[in-house]
Amino acid sequence: MRRGRFLKQDEDTDPMSGMANLFDLAMVFAVALMVALVTRFNVTEMISDEDFTMVKNPGKANMEIIKKKGKTIEKYKGTSGKSSKGKGKKVGTAYQLENGEIIYIPED
C-alpha cells in the first residue's frame, strides 16, 4: 500500500517516447543544415524559377559554364589545351569601360 503512493498514474511510461523527440530534433537540424549550405554556396538560383547563366573559374583551363533555362540545367566544361579555332562565328563585341564594367554589343 505504501508503494502505490510513489507511482503516478498519469505519467507516460513508454520508454520510446523520448526517441520521437530526438527524431524531430534531427529533422530540424537536417533542414537547417540544408538551408545553411544553400545560402553559403550561393545556389539559391538553382531552386528559383529564374533563368540564369553562371561561369565558374572564368578564364582558366578548368572553366565551367552552368546554364539554367526553365527546369533544365546544362553544364559546359572548357577543353583544356585544345584549340577551338574555326569552330565558331563572331556574334558581337565586348568593351570594357574605365570603371571595369563590360558591355556586350551583339551583331545583327
CA distance 89 to 87: 7
Give the model's pLDDT for residue 65.
Answer: 85
How do strand 52-56 and strand 64-69 relate by DSSP bridges? antiparallel
Does the predicted TM-score (pTM) go above 0.75? no
CA distances from 36 to 30, 41, 52 (A): 10, 9, 22
Residue-wise pLDDT tens digits, 16-44? 777 778 888 999 999 999 999 888 877 77
Q: Which residue has the cell 577551338?
A: 84
Find all residues with CB under 8 Å of 65, minimum gap 6, and list them.
53, 54, 55, 56, 75, 76
